[in-house]
Each structure stands twice: as structure tokens, then as C-alpha cells.
Structure 1
């Protein structure tokens, strides 16, 4: 029960900080959030927790806000800006991966305290790294495309929830299947593989649905330089 209650607070804090980032820094804040979220998601995923008897990884909350960010960019600034944000996040993932792998190659000093911890966090299994990169690249561009299509089919301001949840629901399913296939196929029995995939997707989608009021709030923000 503690993890559930703390998890609710954790989700609320993530959303509040997202809104603050956009309110304070405008569109540039959204690109900043994408960069921070991609790095933090890959750090948090190393930690596992148990909730209602189900073991899950952290990182799903902050990762879900990436979809929230690109959908908001698509809604207010257009598909081109949303795609730019996806490339921004992808470059951030590559940059942090390359730099931190080089950091791990350095031989630590005899009294060093950080190397083992950094190895645990950033010494990722190649299949997991490849799965994360492929899943991000495919699902994020898919999310942008679907959102744009839904924007044409359901253009009403009150229909934002359809555009947001529709695009995110499909793209996160693809994200989960791509990641789990590359990272875990053959590593676990199929029943375990499906359990990992289903629980991961359900958690991501629930968080995304919970973010619906957040994207409505963020859309209402107005900035002098954009008027």
C-alpha cells in the first residue's frame, strides 16, 4: 500500500513539474523536458518495485510524459515541432549513452566510491539499450503521425482527449512490443514475457489517461511572445 500511495504522489509531482516547466519556459521548456525525461527514464528503469504483488520497473511515469509533451507540441505548434522534439530526445539518448559508456572505461582510483554504482546504472545490457532506442524511435514518430491524423478527424477543442489518448494508446502498445521483443524475447518463457509486456503497457496507459487533464491545462497557457 505504501508504494501505491507514494506512486500516486510521484505521478502528481511529475505532472506538476511538467506544467511548471512549460509555464516558466514556454515551448523551449517542452524541449528541455524531453531531454531530461529521456535521461531520467533510462536511469529509473534500473530500479524495480512491487505493487499489489506485481514487480515492475520505475521509469514508466516520466517516460509517459514524453508522449504528453509531443502531443502538446503537436496540438499547439504543429506536427513539425513535435517531430523536432522526437529527434531532440533521440539525440539526447544517444549522447548520454555514448558519454556514459566512455566514462565507465576509465579505471577508477583505489578510493573511488562511484564506479560500481555508475556501472549498475549505466552498464546496460546491449539488447536492452537497442530495444530502448528502437522502441523510442518507432513509437514516438508513430504517436506524432497518429495524433496528426486524429487532429484532422476530431478537430474540436473538446476532442483533445481523443487525440491524446488515441495516439498514445496505440503508440505505447507498439513501444512495449518493440522493446520487450528486442530486450526479452528468448530470455524468458513466453508466459513470463507476456506478463512483462502486459503489465508494462497497462501501467503506461493508465498514467497516460491520468495525464489528460494535464494536457488540457497546459494547452490553456498563453505566452506573450506567441500572441
Structure 2
């Protein structure tokens, strides 16, 4: 049960952290979190674990948190701010690829012990990061677009732009996460794992994304409450 406990605690801490970042740092805090999450998630995704009876890569919670960020920005700021967060994530990923790969241009000292481990980890980073950048951009921009499309619909249905938050938040995120999961799984791991493992990763990742998407709803309501105050 250790993996399950760690995942649940991580989810709570990350979503709480995002709300705290927004409360005290505003949009800047969410932009900061986007940069942190996009870099860390693309490293963390290299780790394969078993949790909740499923085989899955790590990074799911961090990736899910970036959708919460764009939804908060869409809801409480504006569409331009949400798209700007996506742009920051893309820039951060590209910068990290260039920096991490530049390390391997050096010839390590005979006493160095770190380079073999760094090479083992980051030699796969370019493919993962390049796929991650493309998928991240597609899925996140789609999420922002869909969020505002659904928002227009809910405003007309309820006659109030404030109502229907849980509908636009969950619908946009769940559909965007499905697109994100399918594109990333096959783009990043085709040829690395067999087809059966790829399907397991896709299904388990999306199941986790469903849970993380539904559980981020209280966070966006709390963020809106704090913004109103």
C-alpha cells in the first residue's frame, strides 16, 4: 500500500500547494508552478510503478496539476493568462532539454561518479521531452479552448456565468486528459515497451487522470472563493 499512500498524499499536497501559490502569488505563482511541474513530470515519468492494482508511470499527478492551473486561470483571470501558462511550460521544457543535453558535451573527471547516472536518466529525456512538449501544447491549448466553449454553454443554460463550474472544469479536463494520455503514451513509449504494456500504461494513466481530474474540483472552488474575498 506504500505507493498508493504516497500517491494520495502527493495529490493532496500538490493541489493544496497550487491554491496556496495562487493565494499569495497570484498569476505569477501559477506560472511558477507550471514551470516546476512540466520539468519535474517529464523526469518522473521515467519511473514505472504498480499502484491501485495497475502498472503506471509516475508524473500523472504533476501533469494533471497543470490542467488545474489553466482551469483556474481560465475561470478567475482570462483566456490569455491560461494560454500564457501553456507557453511558459513549453519554454521551460525546451530550455531544460538544451541544458541537460549540454552536460554530455563535457568529458568527466576520472573521479566523477555522477555522469553515468545522469546519462542513464537523461539520455532518454530528449524523446520524452520533445513528445511531451508537443502533446502538452496540443492538450493544454485544447483544454483552454474547450473550457471557454463549455463556459459559454453553461452561462446560457444557467443564465449565470458563475454556475456550472464543475461541469466545465471536469468535462474540459477529462477530454483533454484523454487526448494527452493517448498521444503521450504512444509517442513517448512506442518501441520502448510492448503493445500490451502500452495499453496498460494508457488505461491506468487515464484512470488516474479521471480520479485526479474529479478531485481537483474542490481546489478550483476554493481558489474562486479566495479570489472573491
TM-score, reference length from structure 2: 0.90
CA distances 1:48-89 after superposition (whole Å, capped 9, x unpaired): 221144221111111111000001101111111111111111
Distance 1:125 1:42, change over 3 A: closer
What residue in structure 2 maps to residue 221 of structure 1? 226
Secondary structure at the counterpart of residue 117 of structure 1: helix
What residue in structure 2 maps to residue 33 of structure 1? 33
CA distances 1:7-64 after superposition (whole Å, capped 9, x unpaired): 2111111112112211121111111111111111112112222114422111111111
8 Å CA contact retained: 2:22, 2:29: yes
> What are the equivalent positions in structure 2 for 1:9-158 lying under 5 Å apart?
9-124=9-124, 126-155=126-155, 156-158=161-163
Distance 1:199 1:93, change over 3 A: same
Deviation at residue 184 of structure 1 after TM alignment:
3.0
What is the alpha-carbon distance in structure 2 between the residues aligned to residue 16 and residue 146 of structure 1?
A: 25
What is the alpha-carbon distance in structure 1 between the residues aligned to residue 225 and residue 116 of structure 2?
A: 46
Deviation at residue 157 of structure 1 after TM alignment:
2.3
Number of aligned residues? 224
What residue in structure 1 maps to residue 158 of structure 2? none
Deviation at residue 139 of structure 1 after TM alignment:
0.3
| Structure 2 spans left out of the alignment, 5+ residues | 156-160
Secondary structure at the counterpart of residue 46 of structure 1: coil
Which segment drifts farther, 189-198 or 17-26? 189-198
Deviation at residue 187 of structure 1 after TM alignment:
4.8
Name segments (4+ residues, structure 1) moved above 4 Å. Answer: 186-189
Distance 1:66 1:201, change over 3 A: same
Deviation at residue 181 of structure 1 after TM alignment:
2.5
Distance 1:187 1:57, change over 3 A: closer
What is the alpha-carbon distance in structure 1 between the residues aligned to residue 193 and residue 99 of structure 2?
A: 31
Deviation at residue 186 of structure 1 after TM alignment:
5.0
What residue in structure 2 maps to residue 164 of structure 1? 169
Deviation at residue 183 of structure 1 after TM alignment:
2.3
TM-score, reference length from structure 1: 0.91
> What are the equivalent positions in structure 2 for 1:182-221 lying under 5 Å apart?
182-221=187-226
CA distances 1:84-126 after superposition (whole Å, capped 9, x unpaired): 1111111111011111111122122122232223223322165
Deviation at residue 141 of structure 1 after TM alignment:
0.5
Secondary structure at the counterpart of residue 121 of structure 1: helix
8 Å CA contact retained: 1:26, 1:223: no
